[in-house]
Amino acid sequence: MRLAVVTSLHPLPARPFEGLFAARRWSEMRARGHAVRVIHPLPLAPPLARGAWAEIGASPRREVRAGVPIERPRYFHVPGRVRANARAFARAAWRALQRGDSPEVVVLDYAWPAGALAPLLAAARVPCLVHGRGSDVLEVAADEDLRDELARALVAAGHWTAVSAHLVRAMDELAGRARGRLVPNGVDLGIFRVRERARSRARLGLAPAGALVLVVGHWIPRKDPLLALEVFARGAPAGARLAFVGRGPLRGALEERIRALGLTGRVDLVREVPPETLAEWYGAADLLLLTSHREGRPNVVLEALASGRPVLATDAGGTGELLRPFREGSLASSRDAGELARRLAECLAHPPAPEELRRAAEPFSLERSLEALEEVLREVAADRK
């Protein structure tokens, strides 16, 4: 099948781990015999840009990653004008789509702003599918200025999927019809597997003794890493360590709070790492801690379970869909640091068997996820014939 993917979330040379899980899906689809190209519109960087803008400006307009061609057309971005920026994004994507072979289906991966392209595709009778991953649906739905825009995009597309049942329901509600389909993220059960803890720690240069609590994800308010730090400070046993793997604007706040709590030397802020190295971190850890305010269906939970490691998480979005078999101990409805600390201590003292956790992840293999996606794409392509 000829597929074009329009997205705002994809790795850049300067940000190789941004949207890596999404990019992996499309490289795997190519490996399954589909002709895939990715269109990743980027804002025009201002002259003499620095920081994040410089990274965007330096990104090549065309490249090939894992055999998948990527185009990055530019569009004029005006800070604060979210509707106009989404439409400019869509026009840039539309012009890029008109170059090359006509796709059988266009996937608007990451529902907003890519969804702004749906009306143009509908007018041209090009089959399309809107795919929701989390904040692209929930944050937009909560914004009075954008809620109706996303609703119109879904109706125009006529087909939508999401990574969790929670998100499917949210998209159905926006569109006013129950047409959404669940296409969950898949975990690579070969990379993320049960490993010997001592061996993983040795490979990472970590001390063999003591509990290790792991937090994986961006250091942003929605993930609330400061709450995770507080929970560790209150609930972890003496000699335990905490590792944050990620990046983000809250790094300075984390460093300051680590000092204030007297945890210097017990907490590590680790840069983003490739999947193979991340798998070693799961292998080295005793527990994954997730304290998000909002989630789609977090990959990190699947990765930890596949690695045979328990998870303690706040009940956000689709997280509970993954932790339901362990709900009483692993899923917390409260965001109270004291309550979470009590649960942390219990989970570390009495973890489930690694094999039990691994079995919970096996139905969410990458292969099953790709098969579910292919089934939906065939239906979308047939719907417009």
For the stretch 133-192, pLDDT in tens is: 998 999 999 998 899 999 999 999 999 999 999 999 999 999 999 999 999 999 999 999
Q: Identify whether residues 156 and 245 lie together within a single domain.
A: no
Q: Identify whether residues 167 and 280 lie together within a single domain.
A: no
Q: Identify whether residues 369 and 321 lie together within a single domain.
A: no
User: Is 353 within a domain?
Assistant: yes
Q: How many CA atoms lie within 13 A of 39 on its CB side?
A: 26
Q: Identify whether residues 135 and 221 lie together within a single domain.
A: no
User: Is 167 within a domain?
Assistant: yes
Q: What is the pLDDT of residue 48?
A: 78
User: Is 310 within a domain?
Assistant: yes
Q: Identify whether residues 202 and 286 lie together within a single domain.
A: yes
Nearest by Cα to 185 from 5, 331, 373: 373
Q: Identify whether residues 125 and 156 lie together within a single domain.
A: yes
Q: Identify whether residues 157 and 249 lie together within a single domain.
A: no
Q: Identify whether residues 222 and 308 lie together within a single domain.
A: yes
Number of domains comprising the chain: 2
Q: Residues 4, 381: contact at Cβ < 8 Å?
A: no
Q: Residues 5, 27: contact at Cβ < 8 Å?
A: no
Q: Identify whether residues 331 and 375 lie together within a single domain.
A: no
Q: Identify whether residues 179 and 203 lie together within a single domain.
A: no
User: Is 191 within a domain?
Assistant: no
Q: What is the pLDDT of residue 326?
A: 65
Q: What is the pLDDT of residue 327?
A: 53
Q: 372 lies in which domain range? A: 2-186+365-383
Return the number of other C-beta atoms located less than 10 Å from residue 50's C-beta: 10
User: Is 192 within a domain?
Assistant: no
User: Is 347 within a domain?
Assistant: yes
Cβ neighbors of 45 (< 8 A, separation 6 or more) are 53, 54, 56, 57
User: Is 117 within a domain?
Assistant: yes
Q: Is the dihedral of CA 282, 285, 287, 291 positive or negative?
A: negative
| CATH number, domain with residue 237 | 3.40.50.2000
**Is 0.85 topped by the overall pTM?**
yes
Segments in the chain below pLDDT 50: none
Q: What is the pLDDT of residue 49?
A: 81
Q: What is the pLDDT of residue 333?
A: 85
Q: What is the pLDDT of residue 163?
A: 94
Q: Identify whether residues 232 and 129 lie together within a single domain.
A: no
Q: Identify whether residues 205 and 248 lie together within a single domain.
A: yes
Peptide bond into 113 cis (omega under 30): yes
